[in-house]
């Protein structure tokens, strides 16, 4: 629309400017001729008032571009040549009074014949080529304002069109920068009235989408709550069954059942966490000690690490104050550390670190596990996506929860390798806002 409007207005301006320029050129050309005719009349009137007498120069060269020829009409019969080289010129003696154009030799002359008060008939003449040249120069000078105005108008129109469409561009940028869960209405009060109905329709659509997503989240949360009790009962029955006497074959078959129940319980817990994270608004940010969060998470997950004889700990003593809700930061770190412990082989290593990078708090969690292939780095953040080739119990929701929390906090997340040379181990790096000292 902006391009079409600019082109259409530019073509309209060009067409009007061309028509106006042609009219101005023709008008200026005719006006210059009229002024030149007035000059001939003024010379004739001056000759008559002053009762001048004529004496023709002999062999004197003059400037043809500026000369005016004045002679007695009767002297045209005494002309010695047939061109304008010598004066008097061979004008016909029968010319009537007034203006006319006559050819003398190969030259056209504009002549004025006048009868003076003394009864003498005089001729005032000028070459038509000289007159036309002066008239064209005057006409071209009259086009100078159009030559200046046309590009200025094009620039003004282009700038005006950009300013008119600037609210639409700003609105597009604002919507494009929104997060996936940000469905609040668009402010239409500062927008032009022509596009306000369109924005109102978008707001209604956003409201319907928000209601649909809220209904979906409530369904997931309600379903997870309803399934939690049966799974808890199944887990208790499996524990009681494991405590009873049974054959080795039955105990071997009980182990996959117990793992399936635990996986279901973890899936429900993470579904509830995901529903809570996506449905609740962003909580007020406070300055949270990252080492304090590390300490609480390690206290909760240390039994899981000790069961696999994993060396887990915090590298360095430098603490960082992160601007984030304490509960959300704890959930974020706990999901990452839990994944690192689960996917690190027995006897492996998990390291947590805190630092600064370009004014942001840098959190890194490294493990000595198999890592994640680079082609899967963008997909592992999708809900329920799990890398193939591992037998660990999981739901594929941990990294999805982490990404949601990081984006809500205004940070970013990146995956890499702990050992880049061997492409082994997973290194999760998070950049989060921090409290400035």
pLDDT at 257 over 60: yes
pLDDT at 429 over 90: yes
Pair of tokens at residue 433: 């806002």
- Whose tokens are 């304490």? That residue is 326
* pLDDT class of 283 with cuts at 50, 70, 90: low
Strand partners, 312: 350
Q: Report the candidate in 227, 226, 234, 224 with the shortest Cα–Cα distance to residue 259.
A: 234
Pair of tokens at residue 186: 């668009």
- Whose tokens are 């600019």? That residue is 6
Cα torsion through 221, 222, 226, 228, rounded to 10: 10
Name the average pLDDT for the chain: 81
Q: Count CB neighbours of 179 within 10 A.
A: 11
Whether the CA torsion 62, 64, 68, 71 is positive or negative: it is positive
pLDDT at 383 over 90: no
d(CA 212, CA 318): 45
Q: What are phi and psi of 371, to 5 degrees?
A: 80, -175
Tell me what pLDDT residue 180 has.
Answer: 67
Do 240 and 258 touch, CB atoms closer than 8 A? no
Angle (deg, nearest 10), helices 248-279 and 196-243: 160
pLDDT at 421 over 50: yes
E strands, 86-130, in order: 98-104, 107-115, 121-127
Mean pLDDT in residue range 108-115: 87
Count CA within 13 A, CB hemisphere, residue 408.
23
Q: Report the candidate in 431, 381, 434 with the shortest Cα–Cα distance to residue 406.
A: 431
pLDDT at 388 over 70: no
d(CA 408, CA 182): 10
Whether the CA torsion 235, 237, 243, 249 is positive or negative: it is negative
Q: What are phi and psi of 393, to 5 degrees?
A: -75, 125
Mean pLDDT in residue range 216-223: 73
pLDDT at 271 over 80: no
**Segment 301-345, tens digit of pLDDT:** 998 899 899 999 998 888 889 988 888 889 889 989 988 998 899
Of the listed ranges 92-101, 226-235, 310-319, the one predicted with least confidence? 226-235
**Segment 189-217, tens digit of pLDDT:** 777 777 888 888 888 988 898 888 778 77
DSSP H or E run through 415: strand 412-419
| DSSP SS3 for 325 | coil
Mean pLDDT in residue range 282-310: 86
DSSP 125-188: EEEHHHHHHHHHHHHHHHTHHHHHHHHHHHHHHHHHHHHHHHHHHHHHHHHHTS-TT--PPP--
Domains of the chain with bracketed CATH? 2-142 (no CATH), 180-281 (1.10.287), 283-432 (3.30.565.10)
Angle (deg, nearest 10), helices 398-408 and 248-279: 20
Pair of tokens at residue 406: 């990081």
Strand partners, 281: none
Return the DSSP state at 348: -
d(CA 329, CA 322): 9
pLDDT above 70 as % of the chain: 88
For the chain, report the end-to-end CA distance as a whole number of angstroms: 50
Tell me what pLDDT residue 130 has.
Answer: 85
Do 325 and 285 touch, CB atoms closer than 8 A? yes
Higher-confidence residue: 41 or 226? 41
Residues 6+ apart with CB under 8 A from 409: 282, 285, 323, 324, 328, 432, 433
Tell me what pLDDT residue 60 has.
Answer: 47
pLDDT at 368 over 80: yes
| DSSP SS3 for 109 | strand
pLDDT at 275 over 90: no
d(CA 28, CA 110): 18
- Whose tokens are 């000595």? That residue is 368
Ordered strands of the 412-419 beta sheet: 311-315, 349-357, 360-367, 424-432, 412-419
Q: Residue count of the chain, please give it.
A: 437
């Amino acid at each position: 629309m902006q391009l079409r409007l600019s082109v259409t207005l530019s073509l309209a301006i060009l067409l009007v400017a061309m028509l106006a320029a042609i009219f101005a050129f023709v008008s200026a050309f005719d006006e210059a001729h009229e002024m030149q005719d007035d000059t001939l009349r003024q010379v004739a009137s001056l000759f008559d008032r002053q009762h001048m007498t004529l004496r023709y120069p002999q062999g004197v060269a003059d400037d043809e571009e500026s000369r005016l020829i004045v002679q007695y009409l009767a002297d045209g019969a005494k002309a010695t040549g047939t061109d304008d080289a010598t004066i008097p010129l061979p004008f016909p003696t029968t010319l009537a009074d007034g203006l006319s154009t006559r050819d003398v030799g190969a030259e056209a002359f504009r002549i004025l014949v006048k009868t003076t008060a003394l009864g003498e008939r005089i001729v005032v003449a000028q070459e038509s080529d000289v007159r036309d040249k002066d008239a064209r120069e005057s006409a071209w000078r009259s086009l100078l304002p159009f030559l200046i105005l046309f590009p200025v108008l094009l620039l003004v129109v282009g700038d005006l069109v950009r300013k008119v469409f600037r609210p639409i561009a700003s609105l597009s940028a604002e919507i494009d920068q929104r997060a996936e869960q940000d469905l609040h209405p668009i402010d239409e009060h500062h927008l032009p009235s022509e596009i306000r109905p369109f924005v109102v329709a978008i707001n209604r659509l956003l409201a319907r989408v928000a209601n649909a997503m809220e209904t979906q989240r409530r369904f997931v949360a309600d379903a997870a709550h309803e399934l939690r009790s049966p799974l808890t009962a199944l887990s208790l029955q499996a524990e009681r069954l494991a405590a009873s006497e049974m054959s080795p074959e039955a105990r071997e078959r009980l182990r996959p059942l117990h793992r399936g129940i635990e996986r279901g319980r973890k899936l429900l817990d993470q579904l509830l966490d995901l529903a809570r994270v996506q449905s609740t608004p962003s909580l007020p940010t406070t300055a949270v000690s990252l080492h304090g969060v590390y300490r609480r998470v390690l206290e909760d997950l240390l039994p899981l690490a000790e069961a696999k004889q994993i060396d887990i700990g915090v590298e360095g003593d430098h603490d960082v104050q992160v601007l984030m809700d304490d509960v959300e930061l704890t959930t974020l770190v706990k999901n990452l550390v839990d994944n690192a412990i689960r996917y690190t082989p027995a006897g492996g290593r998990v390291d947590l670190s805190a630092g600064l990078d370009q004014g942001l708090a840098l959190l890194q969690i490294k493990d000595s596990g198999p890592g994640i292939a680079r082609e899967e780095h963008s997909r592992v953040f999708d809900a329920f996506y799990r890398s193939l080739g591992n037998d660990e119990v999981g739901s594929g929701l941990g990294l999805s929860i982490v990404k949601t929390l990081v984006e809500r906090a205004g940070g970013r997340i990146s995956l890499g390798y702990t050992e880049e040379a061997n492409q082994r181990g997973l290194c999760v790096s998070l950049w989060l806002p921090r409290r400035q000292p």
